[in-house]
């Protein structure tokens, strides 16, 4: 239930005393934040938006953009959209719909291990955002340290776990690890795991949802769409079969009747343009090429 009531059936008016009486620790030391895994496609490869931390712990490391939930003011979805706008400079002050309308935002999961932040118990609700190729977020207010990073440059191994518990940031050597810049590829807190979960989710969702169109502008071509699938899945797809399957799914794409102005960069005919249809689920699904890899864990719910 949203708030328990068995042990202390006090009246509904005195929330704070009643809460504190139930469990004093449930009152003070929990913070709720919202973190965003924002993904986009740049130059044909998947990029994620990261900020550089300016204070310990994990000073100098990259982290997912995020911040506190404003209690009583906003829902989690609204907080995620606000954080994404604030920390990136995208969608500056115009109404939340102009720039953000082509942005897909969905909840990814919640991470609440007590030791994930060495300062206090922080419960983070992670969100996943897909966007078309967006400008660099240097123009924002507190977005000076935000930038797009290729996900292939990041270290997503389960190394982000043991560090948050013990010594904060200098177990790694203080920036001397043979790469450029301080902690260039390591993510703060458990953000490596959050990002890995987000990537698993995206890869799975492309199979049965039309979400790939969220990475593209309003009008796109079938080869554009195929490039999204190839970048996210990191696999080459058969152009002919992909074309056939996309057009055979009802409601996935709708033809605009037009074609591109020019052919491809290295030749080829002009492609027909499409825009996203009204389907929410793909029937039949676009399944990944069968890989005999036995298993990753509980991926993609």
- Here's the x/- map for DNA, 184-223, by CB under 7 A: it reads as -------------------------------------xxx
Smallest gap from Cβ 130 to DNA, in A, equals: 22
Taking the complex as a whole, how short is the minimal distance between the CB of residue 267 and a copy of itself, in angstroms? 39
Compare residues 16 and 290 and give the one whose CB is closer to DNA. Answer: 290
**Does 122 help bind a copy of itself (rule: CB under 8 A)?**
yes
From the list a copy of itself, DNA, none, which binds 166 (C-beta under 5 to 8 Å, kind-based)?
A: none
214, 129 Cβ separation under 8 angstroms: no
Stretch that binds a copy of itself, among 18-26, 175-183, 214-222, 252-260 (CB under 8 A): 18-26
Q: Backbone dihedral region of 202: left (phi > 0), alpha (psi from -120 to 50 degrees) or beta?
A: alpha
C-beta of 37: minimal distance to a copy of itself in Å? Answer: 12
Interacting partner of 233 out of DNA, a copy of itself, none (Cβ under 5 to 8 A depending on kind): none
Sequence-separated (6 or more) residues with CB below 8 Å from residue 112? 121, 122, 123, 124
Long-range own/partner contacts, residues 263-267 (CB < 8 A, 24 or more apart): 264/223
Among 56, 239, 254, 281, contact with DNA (rule: CB under 7 A): 239
Site track for DNA across 260-279, x = CB under 7 A: --xxxxxxxxxxx-------
Interaction partner, residue 240 (a copy of itself, DNA, none; CB < 5-8 Å by kind):
DNA
* 236 CB burial (10 A radius; 0-12, 13-18, 19+): exposed
Distance, CA of 154 to CA of 149 (rounded, Å): 8
Q: If we measure between CA atoms, which residue out of 232, 214, 234, 227 comes closest to residue 275?
A: 214
Does residue 53 interact with a copy of itself by CB under 8 A? yes
Prior bond to 3 cis, omega within 30? Answer: no
For a copy of itself, the binding residue among 94, 107, 152, 162 (CB under 8 A) is 107
Q: 45, 99, 149, 168: which one contacts a copy of itself (CB under 8 A)? A: 168
Is 64 near a copy of itself (CB under 8 A)? yes
Which residues contact DNA by CB under 7 A? 221-223, 238-241, 243-245, 247-248, 259, 262-272, 284-285, 287, 289-290
């Amino acid at each position: 239930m949203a708030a328990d009531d068995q042990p202390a059936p006090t009246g509904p008016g005195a929330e704070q005393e009643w809460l504190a009486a139930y469990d004093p620790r449930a009152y003070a030391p929990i913070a709720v934040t919202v973190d965003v895994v924002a993904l986009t496609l740049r130059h044909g490869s998947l990029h994620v938006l990261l900020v550089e931390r300016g204070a310990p712990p994990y000073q100098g490391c990259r982290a997912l953009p995020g911040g506190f939930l404003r209690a009583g003011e906003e829902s989690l979805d609204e907080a995620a959209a606000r954080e994404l706008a604030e920390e990136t400079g995208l969608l500056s002050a115009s109404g939340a719909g102009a720039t953000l309308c082509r942005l897909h935002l969905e909840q990814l999961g919640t991470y609440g291990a007590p030791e994930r932040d060495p300062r206090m118990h922080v419960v983070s609700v992670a969100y996943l955002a897909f966007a078309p190729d967006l400008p660099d977020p240097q123009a924002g207010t507190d977005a000076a340290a935000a930038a797009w990073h290729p996900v292939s440059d990041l270290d997503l191994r389960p190394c982000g776990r043991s560090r948050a518990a013990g010594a904060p940031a200098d177990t790694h050597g203080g920036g001397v690890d043979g790469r450029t810049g301080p902690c260039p590829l390591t993510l703060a807190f458990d953000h490596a795991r959050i990002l890995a979960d987000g990537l698993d989710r995206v890869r799975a969702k492309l199979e049965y949802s039309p979400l790939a169109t969220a990475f593209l502008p309003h009008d796109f071509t079938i080869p554009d769409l195929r490039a999204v699938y190839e970048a996210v899945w990191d696999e080459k797809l058969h152009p002919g079969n992909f074309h056939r399957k996309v057009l055979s799914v009802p409601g996935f794409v709708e033809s605009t009747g037009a074609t591109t102005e020019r052919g491809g960069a290295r030749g080829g005919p002009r492609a027909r343009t499409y825009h996203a249809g009204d389907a929410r689920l793909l029937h039949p699904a676009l399944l990944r090429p069968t890989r005999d890899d036995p298993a990753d864990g509980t991926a993609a719910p």
